[in-house]
Chain A
Amino acid sequence: MDNVGIIGMASIITAGITIAIGSIGPALGEGRAVAQALSAIAQQPDEANRITRTLFVGLAMIESTAIYCFVVSMILLFANPVWDYISPALGG
């Protein structure tokens, strides 16, 4: 297999593995956070506003790890810098 094929295969497989493994942790974390927030709201409905606001900020911070993985896999798929190195004609 030539260089282009190897790089393409490695990029695609790595992009898939990146987003697959990288979304496991945030998914578990967000599930736990939402479950805790729901039980907290059930116990103290008066504090629902504050809990919801904190929950959203926390969810966004948890989710950013998954977003990093997504950005890396998008770069691997659509803006892979190695393509330019191998062949400027292929670059995209």
Chain B
Amino acid sequence: MSIKDLSPDDAVLWQWEFASLNYTILYTWIVMALMVLVSWLATRRLTSRPQMSRWQNFLEIVIGTINNQIRDVSQQKPERYLPFIGTLFLFIVTSNLLAVVPGFHAPTASLSTTAALAILVLVAVPVYGIAHQGFIGYLRLYVHPTPLMLPFNVIGELSRTLALAVRLFGNMMSGAKIGAILLAIAPLFFPIVMHALGLLTGLIQAYIFAILALVYIGSATQAHDTRSRLRAEHNTARAEAD
């Protein structure tokens, strides 16, 4: 992959008829295989005793942290959102952090991967919204203040999907490009500094992606009934206090 290739899509390793294998697909498979392998190793001997394996301890910390973040941000029970949000976060963070490994091209530095992830979020928002408050209740969100806002709500839904895709792509691609350019003009020390900065950016971008997906889903699921539920909880609490 040369410096002129904007994304790892352009570097085709193997081609046969219509099927082609480029760096994006290859490294996506590698990340998937790595995550499956680590999960299998960690969950092979699950135990509830205090003497647990290191892998299980590690995964419990990760899952617990994600659960806490989901609970804090969405103010709802995290169990429903953990599979989707947690998978998004772990996939993005794995591929972003592995970018420091020599020879690894992060699949998130390709617009195809990030667009696919953003489309997943675009589909997940109505799915969670309809599952939570019904078809009519979800559609009512689009005309929420007034029906005049309908086109703006639809446009907002599409443009935030585009923003989600281009943000992750731009950040990861710029990290790779800056590394390559610095390698050409100051190859001794500076690429390492920029790579260390790239670790931080990759972690933050994965976090941002997951949090924004959660915020979008949360806004579709808790719009109307939160206030009434809070009032009901408040009333029951006061009744119990009386």
Contact = CB atoms under 8 A, between A and B. Distances in A.
B4 interface: yes
A56 B208 contact: yes
Interface in A16-71: 50, 53, 56-57, 60-61, 63-64, 67-68, 70-71
Interface stretch (B37-45, B77-85, B163-171, B226-234): B163-171
B166 A64 contact: yes
A79 B211 contact: no
Contact of B208 (A57, A74, A78, A92): A57
Contacts, number: 47
B208 A60 contact: yes
A64 B167 contact: yes
B150 interface: no
B170 A67 contact: yes
A85 to B, nearest CB: 18
Contacts of A63: 167
A22 B73 CA distance: 31
A34 B187 CA distance: 33
A42 to B, nearest CB: 22
B171 A67 contact: yes
A7 interface: no
Contacts of A53: 72-73, 211
B211 A78 contact: no
Nearest to A68: B166
B173 interface: yes
A79 B5 CA distance: 8
B235 interface: no
A70 B6 contact: no
Interface string B124-166: 0000000000000000000000000000000000000001001
Interface residues on A, range: 10 to 19
A71 B166 contact: yes
A9 interface: no
A79 B6 contact: yes
A75 interface: yes
Nearest to B211: A57
Contacts of A57: 208, 211-212, 215
B208 A70 contact: no
B205 interface: yes
A46 to B, nearest CB: 14
Given A61-B212, A92-B4, 5 more contacts: A60-B208, A63-B167, A67-B166, A68-B166, A78-B4
The 9 closest A-B pairs by CB, nearest first: A67-B170, A60-B208, A64-B167, A71-B170, A79-B6, A78-B6, A92-B4, A78-B4, A57-B211
